[in-house]
């Protein structure tokens, strides 16, 4: 799996701090070298905190798809 897609699948757990330390270190290493993903995480994080101020539910499917499209667009490799 390409690193950028992998980051996307793990992102919720990453922001919840529920990833194993080694996986987390892996992601952070990727973030250190990938400005697209860094920008994406920033966008995701602020979107999530906005949503969490409204509801405790998981991210709506539509938002998930939009984030995926955003990442696919920015992280072609």
Binding site for Zn ion (CB under 5 A): 4, 34, 37
Pick 23 or 58: Cβ nearer Zn ion: 23
Q: What residues contact residue 17 under an 8 Å CB cut-off, 6+ apart?
A: none
Pick 37 or 67: Cβ nearer Zn ion: 37
Which has the closest alpha carbon to 33: 7, 9, 13?
7
Pick 30 or 64: Cβ nearer Zn ion: 30
Q: Closest distance between Zn ion and the C-beta of residue 58, in Å?
A: 23
């Amino acid at each position: 799996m390409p690193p950028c897609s992998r980051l996307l699948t793990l992102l919720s757990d990453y922001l919840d701090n529920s990833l194993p330390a080694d996986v987390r270190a892996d992601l952070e290493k990727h973030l250190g070298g990938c400005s697209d993903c860094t920008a994406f995480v920033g966008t995701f994080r602020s979107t999530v905190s906005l949503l969490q101020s409204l509801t405790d539910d998981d991210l709506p499917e539509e938002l998930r798809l939009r984030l995926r499209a955003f990442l696919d667009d920015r992280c072609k490799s």
